[in-house]
Amino acid sequence: MSGSLRSSQWYSGDDRNAYIHRAWMRRGVPGDFSGRPQIAIANTASDLTPCNAHLNEVAQSVRNGVYEGGGIPLELPVVSLGETQVRPTAMLWRNMAAMATEEMLRANPIDGVVLLGGCDKTIPALLMAAASVDLPAIVVPGGPMLTGHFRGRPLGCGTDVWRLSEEVRAGEIDESEFRRSESSMIRSKGHCNTMGTASTMALVAEALGTVLPGLAGTPAPDARLLEAAHDSGRFAVELVAEGRTPSSFLTKASFHNAIVALAAIGGSTNAVVHLLAIAGRLGVDLTLDDFDRIGADVPLLVNLLPAGVHLMDDLHRAGGFLAVLREVKDLLDPSALTITGRPLVDHLDDARIWDADVITPRDSPLQPSAGIAVLRGSLAPGGAIIKPAAASPRLLKHRGRAVVFSSIEDLHARLDDPGLVVDEDSVLVLRGCGPKGYPGMPEVSNMPLPRKLLERGVRDMVRICDGRMSGTAYGTVVLHVTPEAAAGGPLALVRDGDWISLDVRARRLDLEVSEAELATRVVDAETSDGFAKPRRGWERLYVDHVQQADTGADLDFLVGSSGPAVSRESH
């Protein structure tokens, strides 16, 4: 097998270069190591990415599996992005993490890779890298944490942060009690236990076919995660033997199934921008409208926060992700393959629902049509999205006057001003939060409500932004408005008092201002392309080359694949 291995380009032969490559790797490995498949373990473990801190333990199980399969495991620490820690926003660094991982996989004597991720941006970045380098690859999601409780009720990571913080601002609980909830919320290792972006991307990665069927959603402390990690390591060696690379099975059909899954689980809106970016690396023709066309009428079957009431360990005990997919099997594309070489639909026959309150049967869904809706109109000519499953039904058709904030700092400074002209029918508009404008497209679209309205009992309003929203968040939030304000989109021209109409059923988002009037308006300096433009480093490169949300917010020069070939030798 060694002659057919990519790593043999480094290790085969008797010349000086081969000697150097082999000699420096002889640190306790078997004598025949250079003839075995070299399997990288791309590990995003980091103490500064709390949700991934346990991945070193998972990596050890992967190592054991690789050895059992006859390969050589090689741990490769890669850029790790902690959603709760990284400033200004983890999304700014997703493309950098993908690019760095891709280049390290290509540059090293590696035949295949196991991708260890968990926190929001880590699985998308790893899949983008794997798609571009196109070596045999398998994903091992790190899994959600167990449910914590506070004041006798379960806590959902993120979702209950938003809820409790609003209760503080409304005067319903005091700040000391809010602080006490911190230690209750994070009960164990693992990522957020709601159907936020981390859980969504783990499940969507399995729907794409890049995870061993049945693994995604296994809680981080569950011993079965280590068992599956071992199996994944062993299977990575098989993938190399069979030459099964991402491009060999990830097709438009795979993304069709991911979109169906996204709707059925009530998944995060962030999956839209990540799936578009992954598809772009593969050359798959996926568009924003595909999410609406494929997912709009898919029923919501998973009763998890923020769209429901339960949490991820409930989903696992209730039958898991495969039980959800079995209920919508007729909506899946049967031609889509997985890393096993078999279609995804072939792995569903034995799946069962064990708790119908957590996973609702197809004939009694939580919501009959819950997919992400794509809006267009004079305020979003390139598109915008909304998650109806997390919105207030009464607000899905709404007309109100704009209350405009030109930056997140402007929002924080004025939101609770008693003199702010706002009522429950107003439409809150936040701009300057897109890929270029922030930069990095932060999760601020689910902006808090004005204190004076909270004190009157208001808990939701229509909110519009060119940024993103946490997958753990809820509310009637229109996000990913394209083009963003900083790229010259109409959002930059909205003024206080302008009428805005939202009609989700009609898929419309309109600014009721004439073109003649808009032509007289001057863009605020804060929302123009030149506002706070970075002078150097990654931020400068990002702003100069990032695409808009409707194509995945990847960098223009990273779209597509360069494959695994490296032609030159340095020694």
pLDDT for the residue numbered 173: 84
Query: pLDDT tens, 274-333?
Result: 999 999 999 999 999 999 999 999 999 999 988 889 999 999 999 999 999 999 999 999
* Unique residue bearing structure tokens 């099975």: 249
Higher pLDDT, 567 or 136: 136
Same domain, 231 and 84: yes
Residue 268: pLDDT band with limits 50, 70, 90: very high
Cis peptide before 343 (omega within 30 of 0): no
In this structure, what are the phi and psi dihedrals at residue 501, rounded to the nearest 5 degrees? -115, 135
The verdict on 341 and 393 lying in the same domain is no
Residues 542, 538: Cα–Cα separation, whole Å:
6
Nearest to 166 by CA among 455, 469, 405, 393: 455
| Residue 386 and residue 271 in one domain | no
Tell me: pLDDT of 530 over 50: no
Q: Is residue 359 part of a domain?
A: no
515: exposed, middle or buried (C-beta count within 10 Å: 0-12, 13-18, 19+)?
Answer: exposed
Joined together, the tokens standing for residue 299 give 């029923």
For 91-114, the three-class secondary structure string (H helix, E strand, C coil) is: HHHHHHHHHHHHHHHHHCCCCEEE
Mark residue 488 as left, alpha or beta (left: phi above 0; alpha: psi -120 to 50; beta: remaining). Answer: left
Query: What is residue 524's predicted lDDT score, i.e. its pLDDT?
Result: 67
- Each residue of 486-507: b (16+ CB within 10 Å) or e? bbebbbbbbeeebebbbebeeb
Among 313, 347, 381, the domain-final residue is: 347
**Pair of tokens at residue 405:** 């904030």
Confidence of residue 525 (pLDDT cuts 50, 70, 90): low
358 located within any domain: no
- Please tell me the pTM assigned to this model: 0.96
* pLDDT score recorded for residue 529: 46
What's the whole-number mean pLDDT along residues 19-37? Answer: 94
| Averaged pLDDT score across all residues of the chain | 94
Kindly state whether residues 213 and 94 are assigned to the same domain.
Answer: yes
DSSP code of residue 271: H
% of the chain residues with pLDDT over 90 = 85
Burial grade of 9 (CB within 10 A; 0-12, 13-18, 19 or more): middle
pLDDT value of position 181? 85
Domain-terminating residue out of 347, 364, 392: 347
CA dist list (Å): 470 to 138, 412, 491: 26, 18, 21
The 112-117 sheet, strands edge to edge: 72-77, 38-43, 112-117, 137-141
Domain that holds residue 393: 373-551
Whether residues 133 and 16 share a domain: the answer is no
Q: Give the pLDDT band (50/70/90) at residue 533.
A: confident
DSSP 394-459: GGSEEEEEEEEESSHHHHHHHTT-TT----TT-EEEE-S-STTTTTS--B-SSPPPPHHHHTTT--
CA pair distance 432, 526, nearest whole angstrom: 7
Query: DSSP letter at 567?
Result: -
The verdict on 61 and 141 lying in the same domain is yes
Q: Which two tokens stand for residue 209?
A: 């076919």
Are residues 310 and 458 located together in one domain of the fold? Answer: no
* Length, in residues, of the chain: 571
Helix (H) or strand (E) holding 400: strand 397-405
What is the helix (H) or strand (E) element at residue 204, kind and residue range?
helix 197-208
Sequence-distant (≥ 6) Cβ neighbours of residue 40 within 8 angstroms = 74, 75, 76, 105, 108, 110, 112, 113, 114
- As for how many domains the chain has, the answer is 4
Q: pLDDT tens across 387-398, in order?
A: 988 899 999 999
With 70 as the cut, is the pLDDT of residue 527 above it? no
Give the pLDDT score at 472.
Answer: 77
pLDDT confidence of residue 3: 58
pLDDT score at 482: 98
Is the pLDDT confidence value at 531 over 60? no
Note the pLDDT tens digit of each residue in 200-251: 999 999 999 999 999 999 999 999 999 999 999 999 999 999 999 999 999 9
What number is the average pLDDT over the span 447-468? 95
231 in a structural domain: yes
Amino acid letter, residue 241: A
Q: What is the DSSP string of 339-387?
A: TTSSBGGGG-TT---S-TTTB--TTS-SBS--SPEEEEETTEEEEEEE-
Task: Answer yes or no: do 130 and 232 share one domain.
Answer: yes
CA 28 remoteness from chain centre: 38
Residue 571 lies in a domain: no
* pLDDT tens track for 402-429: 999 999 999 999 999 999 999 999 999 9
Does one domain contain both 383 and 530? yes
Taking alpha carbons only, the member of 11, 65, 64, 63 closest to residue 42 is: 63
| CA atoms within 13 A of residue 550's CA, in its CB half-sphere | 19
At 531, the amino acid letter reads F
pLDDT of residue 357 exceeding 90, the answer is yes
Which residue in 431, 415, 455, 390 sits closest to 525, CA to CA? 431
Q: How do beta strands 153-155 and 148-150 pair?
A: antiparallel
On the question of a cis peptide bond just before residue 306, with omega within 30 degrees of 0, the verdict is yes
What percent of the chain stands above pLDDT 70? 98
Residues 386, 332 share a domain: no
Q: Are both 140 and 191 inside the same structural domain?
A: yes
- Asked if residue 300 is part of any domain, the answer here is yes
Return the CATH number at 543. Answer: 3.50.30.80
Q: Is the pLDDT of residue 53 over 60?
A: yes
- Whether 566 is covered by a domain: the verdict is no
pLDDT tens digits, one per residue of 461-517: 999 999 999 887 889 999 999 999 999 999 999 999 999 999 999 999 999 999 999
**Peptide bond before 442: cis, by omega within 30 degrees of 0?**
no
For residues 178 and 71, state if they share a domain: no
Please check whether residue 353 lies inside any domain of the structure. Answer: no
- Residue at 556 is within a domain: no
